[in-house]
């Protein structure tokens, strides 16, 4: 399986309408939480006043989207993380956005995560120290051409090991996610195994 990139970005107007419609349905107008499961853990693009480990039930994190710009190229594609249905749940970080800077933060978040429309933003309940706020979570859209689907672990590691794009290597994206999770007290054995396989395949 290979990507059908490059992938066309959605327009600024469509992106702005998506954000407006989504926030109009927000369940809590006093607070805005964001659930981070990949690069947002170690590279959030918005101001926040709280950062805590969190669990999202009913979903799992997986390298299931093609990246042919940020961490790869059309000729040498990489893989990025997306949320998809999974009984094991996903452990990550919940951020409470700075209410005084929420407008700019949301615009930056939408520019980054809603660049091509491979993600669908949802309000999902996360567990944060026994509290259960509704948080923004970006879930992969299986019908989008950027969706990679289910790849074997070895194939996933091979793509990760060899890809580099405008924002650096795919391998470093994985390694920084593993490190950031560990710093938060979260041990993701699957991601650690992928990193070991990627390093072995790259001859590190």
Instruction: Indicate whether 93 belongs to any domain.
Output: yes
Residue pLDDT, tens place only, 71-99:
999 999 999 999 999 888 999 999 999 99
Query: Which residues, in sequence order, are bridge partners of residue 48?
Result: 97
Residue 4 class from Cβ within 10 Å (0-12 exposed, 13-18 middle, 19+ buried)? exposed
Residue pLDDT, tens place only, 122-178:
999 999 999 999 999 999 999 999 999 989 999 999 999 989 999 999 999 999 999
Orientation angle between helical segments 102-113 and 12-24, nearest 10 degrees: 120
Instruction: Indicate whether 200 belongs to any domain.
Output: no
Closest CA to 110 of 13, 18, 7, 47: 18
pLDDT in the model for residue 2: 61
Instruction: Indicate whether 64 belongs to any domain.
Output: yes
Instruction: Indicate whether 171 belongs to any domain.
Output: no
Is the pLDDT assigned to residue 100 strictly greater than 60? Answer: yes
Instruction: Indicate whether 74 belongs to any domain.
Output: yes
Is the pLDDT assigned to residue 203 strictly greater than 80? Answer: no
Instruction: Indicate whether 60 belongs to any domain.
Output: yes
Buried b (16+ CB within 10 A) or exposed e, 13-44: eebeebbeebbeeeeeeebbbbbbbbbbbbeb
| Residue numbers of the domain that contains 85 | 12-149
Residue pLDDT, tens place only, 56-72:
999 999 999 999 999 99
Domains of the chain: total = 1
Q: Collapse the DSSP code of 188 into the 3-class scheme (helix H, G, I; strand E, B; otherwise coil) and give the result.
A: coil
Find out whether 181 and 188 touch, Cβ atoms under 8 Å.
Answer: yes
Alpha helices (H) in 25-152, listed in sequence order:
39-42, 102-113
Closest CA to 171 of 146, 152, 194, 148: 194
Name the catalytic one among 17, 113, 134, 190.
113
Q: How much is the pTM?
A: 0.94
What is the separation, in whole angstroms, between the first and last Cα of the chain? 26
| Token duo for residue 119 | 């993600």
Q: Which CATH number covers residue 47?
A: 3.10.490.10
Does 113 qualify as catalytic in the annotation? yes
Please tell me the distance from the alpha carbon of residue 18 to that of residue 12, in angstroms, as a whole number.
Answer: 10
pLDDT in the model for residue 5: 67
Instruction: Indicate whether 108 belongs to any domain.
Output: yes
Distance of CA 119 to the CA centre of its chain: 9
Instruction: Indicate whether 103 belongs to any domain.
Output: yes
Closest CA to 47 of 118, 120, 97, 121: 97
């Amino acid at each position: 399986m290979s990507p059908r990139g490059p992938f066309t970005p959605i327009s600024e107007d469509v992106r702005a309408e998506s954000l407006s419609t989504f926030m109009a349905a927000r369940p809590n107008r006093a607070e805005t939480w964001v659930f981070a499961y990949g690069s947002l853990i170690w590279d959030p693009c918005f101001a926040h006043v709280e950062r805590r480990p969190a669990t999202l039930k009913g979903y799992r994190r997986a390298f299931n989207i093609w990246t042919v710009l940020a961490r790869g190229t059309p000729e040498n594609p990489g893989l990025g993380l997306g949320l998809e249905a999974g009984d094991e749940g996903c452990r990550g970080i919940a951020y409470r956005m700075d209410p005084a800077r929420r407008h700019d933060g949301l615009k930056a978040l939408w520019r980054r995560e809603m660049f091509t429309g491979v993600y669908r933003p949802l309000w999902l309940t996360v567990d944060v120290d026994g509290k259960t706020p509704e948080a923004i979570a970006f879930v992969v859209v299986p019908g989008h051409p950027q969706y990679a689907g289910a790849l074997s672990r070895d194939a996933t590691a091979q793509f990760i090991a060899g890809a580099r794009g405008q924002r650096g290597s795919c391998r470093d994206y994985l390694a920084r996610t593993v490190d950031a999770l560990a710093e938060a007290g979260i041990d993701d054995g699957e991601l650690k195994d992928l990193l070991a396989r990627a390093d072995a395949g790259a001859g590190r």
